[in-house]
Amino acid sequence: MVITLLSLALSALLIVLLGIRMTRLADRIADSSHLAKGFVGMLLLAAATSLPEVVTSLTAVLSGAPGLAFGNVFGSNVVNLSFLFILDLMIAVSIFSIASREHVTTGLWAILLSLVAIGGIATVRVFGWPGWPFSLALVVLYVRALRTSYAATSSESDGSAIRDMAGPPRHSPWGAFGLAALGVVVVGLVLTRACESLARETGLGMTFVGSLVLALVTSLPELVVSIEAVRLGSLDMSLGNLAGSNLFNVTIVAMCDGAGRAACCAAGSPAAVDLWTVPAASACLPAAVMSVVMMGLFVWAVSRKSATTVAGRVSPISLALLLLYILSNALLFGR
């Protein structure tokens, strides 16, 4: 148990350091490429900070622990949105009142993909249909979301109301960003093993550990990157990272399904295992539904430019997102 906890703590520290590094490099990439920082956050940072979820989920599926994969994906989406409470505390006004409306587009796509995943889980369970069409639909919709989001961000300026750190970089940051992302992948592998050990040693179960512990630790890059982006003066990069990560995370289900089928074929198995049929998928439905509710609140607040605050400090929407995150874990533990 001690070794497991030390592994989790060390992995978390490394993720924090790598997250800070990636954010600063992404800020320079945005400046040198003249892309909107919201889009850089939604695409580049979101994909990079979601690498732990990708690696841990794929490793969990291939090692026979699909409960970790589903719990990690949907649990990460819920915890990502709860981070808005922390970001809101860092700014003197409601973050929703100064956020660019470009995030509404990303948020709506994240809701759509989540609903497809929820519908896939329910349909496969009730009617016994194959799950691969839903995996394919997630990939197609994600590609479409990227194109739509790019069109939305290219027509708007970087809407941050915080200072901008624009300036030409001295050299290309792409190589350093790639190395930092590779480091996140390596740490993700360590995290998976540590969480599998924690689930066995505590008896809490793979689904609960995946939704709470693994999702929280693998979401540390999103938290660190978002905080650092706000400190650098790019609120839209921060929000783009969180909304984009939720969008990207849902496609991890499709990746895991494809990897599981490929592994079965490589092993000469007569029939591929359908990831959508495992009991862990249904067990994670509360977290999946909660992620849709929370993203809906986020979209509503950004579209309405909600400026209301509690005690003049934090938006009631941010507070509600934090409470819904707590409720989601309580419901999951109850199952």
> Nearest-5° angle of CA 25, CA 29, CA 30?
120
Per CATH, the architecture of 2-334 is what? Up-down Bundle (1.20)
Q: Distance between CA atoms of 14 and 218, rounded to whole angstroms? A: 11
Helix (H, G, I), strand (E, B), or coil: what is residue 335? coil
User: What is the b/e burial string over 248-280, where b = at least 16 CB atoms within 10 angstroms of the residue's CB?
Assistant: bbbbbbbbbbbbbbeeeeeeeeeebbbbbbbeb
**100, two tokens:** 């660019």
Task: Please tell me the pTM assigned to this model.
Answer: 0.81
Q: Provide the residue ranges of all domains of the chain, joining segments of one domain with +.
A: 2-334
For residue 191, the surrounding DSSP H or E stretch is: helix 174-202
Helix (H, G, I), strand (E, B), or coil: what is residue 93? coil
User: What is the b/e burial string over 63-80, where b = at least 16 CB atoms within 10 angstroms of the residue's CB?
Assistant: eebbbbbbbbbbbbbbbb
Q: Distance between CA atoms of 292 and 186, rounded to whole angstroms? A: 30
Beta-carbon contacts of residue 200 (< 8 Å; ≥ 6 apart):
none
Kindly give the confidence (pLDDT) of every residue in the chain, 335 residues in length, as a single tens digit, with 9 standing for 90 and above: 678 778 778 877 887 788 778 777 877 777 776 666 666 767 777 887 787 788 878 877 887 777 667 777 888 899 999 999 999 999 888 999 999 888 899 999 999 999 999 999 999 888 888 888 999 999 999 999 988 877 766 555 444 444 443 444 456 688 888 888 888 778 767 776 776 677 677 766 555 555 566 677 778 778 888 898 888 888 888 898 899 899 999 999 999 888 888 877 776 665 556 788 887 788 788 889 999 999 999 999 999 999 999 877 899 999 999 999 988 877 766 55
**How far, CA to CA in Å, does 215 sit from each of 76, 211, 268?**
5, 5, 32
Which of 122, 124, 140, 158 shows the shortest CA–CA distance to 40?
A: 158
34: left (phi over 0), alpha (psi -120 to 50) or beta: left
Question: Distance between alpha carbon 180 and the CA centroid of its chain, in Å?
Answer: 18
CB atoms within 10 A of CB 125: 16
**289, two tokens:** 């539904």
Q: What is the DSSP string of 208-237?
A: HHIIIIIHHHHTHHHHHHHHHHHHTT-HHH
For residue 310, the cross-strand partners are 314
